[in-house]
Amino acid sequence: MLELGKKQTLKVLRKRENGVYLGEGRDAGGEPESGKWQKLQGKKELETGVLLPRRQVPEGIEVGDELEVFLYKDSEDRLIATTAAPFLCMGELGILTVAEAGDIGAFLNWGLERDLFLPFREQKWKVKKGEQVFVAVYLDKSKRLCATMKVDQYLKSDSPYRKDGQVTGILYEINRELGGFVAVDSQYFGMIPVAELDRDLRPAIQIEARVSRVRSDGKLVLSSRKKAYKQMNMDAEAVYSLIEDYGGKLPFTDKSDSDLIRLETGLSKNAFKRAVGRLLKEGKIQINTDSIEQIRR
């Protein structure tokens, strides 16, 4: 059966001026078997083949030869074949770039002549030209290939990862109340709690994280930070560098407002306290009423 949105190997049935027609289940002469009908994308139609335009036909191709092609629809909603490989096939997830954006939706560059449509209702936010978005490819009700940013339903929760395992994934959405949502290996659901979110993180970037917990439903809770004893050293170095940037005197302390601390350092209040405690223990700083000061030797 011909499958829209997927790569498949088909035979050359006929050669014509506008290209070659491809299909499957043909007799030796390359013509349709008499009276043979095939159900394709919800319609019944005589199987006469799918056009591969002349500009894409490999040199020397003959009737009966096989070609690997991708099937999609042209601007007139007709099924058509291409030897070009799209960046994503139907059901796959990945990052695509917005080629054009408008009120009814956007068009994404996915490596084919005709861009992939991202309907407005399938956007998590209104995207802009040149922006990168993490999407899945699906068939809409009219049997057209489209993209969606609502990828949760495509992510699985049966990953092979366990607590403290290191993973790589795409951060595809940030919710400032819940946290950051990550597609681990572009196929498993993961989430970074809001307290762990780095202020510089943005959607559609690849991140490395540690599995801090595997929930009962199999979904992964991630941390962009290392284990506490390792992270403390890194945080202490970062805080000390920030103190130096302020000329040796940081205008707030570990008792300051947590939002201020996160804004200035990118650390939670507890992480900042641990880092300051490490610097204090090492004799590198002194804590004043409203500041943290570098001890110069």
| Strand boundaries in the chain, DSSP class E | 7-16, 19-23, 37-40, 43-46, 50-53, 66-73, 79-82, 93-101, 105-109, 116-119, 132-139, 145-148, 166-175, 179-184, 188-193, 205-214, 220-223, 249-250, 285-287, 292-294
For residue range 253-295, what is the model confidence (pLDDT) as tens digits?
Answer: 999 998 888 888 877 788 888 889 989 988 999 999 999 999 9
CB 288 within 8 A of CB 250: no
Written as six digits, the tokens of 284 are 């590198």
Written as six digits, the tokens of 272 are 């900042």
Domains of the chain: 7-82 (2.40.50), 93-152 (2.40.50.140), 155-223 (2.40.50.140), 228-294 (1.10.10.10)
For residue 172, report the phi and psi dihedrals to the nearest 5 degrees: -105, -15
Mean of all residue pLDDT scores within the chain:
86
Mean pLDDT, to the nearest integer, of 81-99? 95
For residue range 175-214, what is the model confidence (pLDDT) as tens digits?
Answer: 888 899 999 999 999 999 987 777 677 899 998 888 989 9
The residue ranking higher by pLDDT, 1 or 133, is 133
Of the candidates 71, 57, 61, 58, the residue with the CA atom closest to the CA atom of residue 23: 71
For residue range 100-134, what is the model confidence (pLDDT) as tens digits?
Answer: 999 899 999 999 989 999 999 999 999 999 999 99
